[in-house]
């Protein structure tokens, strides 16, 4: 009976915690989030935890990539429309000047 009790003493638990101390804070947080993600049944929480893990790991999620692409397209279209607006304003001023003459 004695050997069975020796296996669950604090000595083995200390070895486990020492190996965990070598991990970075980032690794411990990720490990904790993955544990909660695996045990929870709340799908909303799972989604939030997954996004948090992606951010901590440095992965850029697809939504952010799509938003960046849409923003760059909108900026290009804005520049094009601004140039066209300037040309139309000049044309309008020329037509007004011709009409007055």
Q: Which residues of 35-66 are buried (b: 16+ CB within 10 A; e: fewer)?
A: eebeeeeeeeeeeebeeeeeeeeeeeeeeeee
Do 90 and 54 share a domain, yes or no? no
Do 52 and 68 share a domain, yes or no? no
pLDDT tens per residue, range 15-31: 555 555 556 888 999 99
Do 23 and 54 share a domain, yes or no? yes
Do 45 and 87 share a domain, yes or no? no
pLDDT tens per residue, range 59-73: 877 778 889 999 999
Task: Please give the residue range of the domain that contains residue 27.
Answer: 1-59
Q: Check residue 61 and give left, alpha or beta (phi > 0: left; psi -120 to 50: alpha).
A: beta
Res 2 pLDDT > 60: no
Do 46 and 74 share a domain, yes or no? no
Contact present, 31 and 57 (Cβ < 8 Å): no
Q: Does the CA dihedral 81-84-86-91 come out positive or negative? A: negative
Do 11 and 50 share a domain, yes or no? yes
Q: How far apart are CA 49 and CA 55, in angstroms?
A: 10
pLDDT tens per residue, range 79-91: 999 999 999 999 9
Half-sphere exposure of 92 (CA within 13 A, CB side): 6
Do 2 and 49 share a domain, yes or no? yes
Do 5 and 15 share a domain, yes or no? yes
What is the per-residue pLDDT for 54?
Answer: 86
| pTM as predicted | 0.45
Do 47 and 1 share a domain, yes or no? yes
């Amino acid at each position: 009976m004695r050997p069975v009790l020796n296996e669950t003493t604090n000595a083995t638990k200390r070895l486990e915690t020492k190996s965990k101390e070598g991990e970075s804070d980032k690794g411990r947080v990720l490990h904790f989030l993955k544990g909660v993600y695996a045990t929870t049944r709340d799908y909303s929480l799972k989604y939030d935890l997954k996004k948090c893990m992606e951010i901590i790991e440095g992965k850029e999620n697809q939504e952010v990539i799509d938003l960046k692409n849409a923003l760059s397209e909108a900026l290009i279209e804005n520049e094009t429309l601004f140039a066209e607006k300037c040309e139309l304003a000049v044309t309008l001023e020329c037509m007004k000047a011709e009409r007055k003459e």
